[in-house]
Amino acid sequence: MTTFQAYKIHKDGDTVKGRMEDLSAKDLPSSDVLIKVHYSSVNFKDGMVSQPDNALVKDYPIIPGIDLAGEVVRSRDDRFKEGDQVIATSYEIGVSHDGGFSQYASIPADWIVPLPDGLTLEESMIYGTAGFTAALSVYRLEQNGLTPDQGPVLVTGATGGVGSMAIAMLAKRGYVVHASTGSEEHTEYLKDLGADKVLSREDVYNGKIKALAKQQWAAAVDPVGGEPLASVLSKLQYNGAAAVSGLTAGVNVPTQVYPFILRGISLLGIDSVYCPMETRKKVWHRMANDLKTKEVFNRMKVVISLDEVEERLQQILKGETRGRTIIKLQED
């Protein structure tokens, strides 16, 4: 390796601008493991990093990309050796530590997961943080006692990365899935992923929030948050639970105590960023086994090159994407 390509974001005054650059290893952080990156993926968080005045990036320049998968080139840590295939997602990657929108990345060993048997590098990035968040949501709901015989499970933000993955995983596990979306043109896509019923956003939240509404769902996977989440909580069945991982509808949830004390519902926070490594490995193992959705991977993935990243970041911020966007960083 002499030089390689990366997409790097710079800040000049109030302006934030990304561009393709030729870099060398000395331009990367001095971390434990150098990885030849084969695939990355585009997430909403990556789009946020590309915007001025975002609260995520403190120091520029930064190589974004919160997900990456590739092959170890060299390692100062005994847990990894040259040629190992690995995944790195979350932590500070792509936010305060150079990330995956680069043909090479230098990553702390404590942030790295060995690629589980049963997954390819490309498949791991079709999952990425979005898939891991969806899988962690299913994992936590089932830890809380959820089983397929208890009733339908609602997935909000269904055409996004977390939503799409959650639908496919829940269907694989035998759950009846109700998918909520603001994009009616994606109905067939959501049914192909495994949704039994497709609802409009208004079916979930019509602008009015009751303390308690008709019980409809045994559980919910919610990457949306905000007022729609408050509506969902009022409609969960007795002993139901909502796994919450996002805030695209806002950070304020104007709920009341009644769903919790009269129906015994649970609100489960899903943190994919600092999820402990022991749990992280367990969830990735499940993603390679009982949660694996290989038969629908091709329906939800779009593969782009690194020089197409900037346009895709703008599209994901505008809600113009569906499923998962994969960046291929190495030639076959």
* pLDDT confidence of residue 1: 63
Structural domain total, the chain: 2
Residues in the chain: 332
* pLDDT confidence of residue 300: 86
Q: What's the CATH number where 193 sits?
A: 3.40.50.720
- Tens of pLDDT along the chain (332 residues)? 689 999 999 998 889 999 999 999 999 999 999 999 999 999 989 999 999 888 899 899 999 999 999 999 999 999 999 999 999 999 999 999 999 999 999 999 999 999 999 999 999 999 999 999 999 999 999 999 999 999 999 999 999 889 999 999 999 999 999 999 988 889 999 999 999 999 999 999 999 999 999 999 999 999 999 999 999 999 999 999 999 999 888 999 999 999 999 999 999 999 999 999 999 999 999 999 999 988 888 888 999 999 999 999 999 888 888 889 999 999 87
Residues 155 and 54 in one domain: no
Enter the pTM of the model.
0.94
Separation CA 332–CA 319 (nearest Å): 31
Residues 140 and 206 in one domain: yes
Residues 184 and 314 in one domain: no
CA distances from 288 to 123, 283, 291 (A): 9, 9, 7
**Residue 302 neighbours by CB distance under 10 Å:** 13
Sheet-wide strand order for 153-155: 197-200, 177-181, 153-155, 217-222, 236-244, 266-269
Residues 212 and 258 in one domain: yes
* pLDDT confidence of residue 21: 97
> What sign has the CA pseudo-torsion 35, 37, 39, 41?
positive
Could you say which of 254, 269, 284 is where a domain stops?
A: 269
Residues 139 and 257 in one domain: yes
Residues 39 and 101 in one domain: yes
Residues 107 and 25 in one domain: yes
Residues 264 and 154 in one domain: yes
* Any domain includes 275: no
Q: What's the CATH number where 314 sits?
A: 3.90.180.10
* Domain of 98, in residue numbers: 4-115+296-328
Residues 304 and 237 in one domain: no
* pLDDT confidence of residue 136: 98
User: In angstroms, how far is CA 54 from the centroid of its own chain?
Assistant: 19
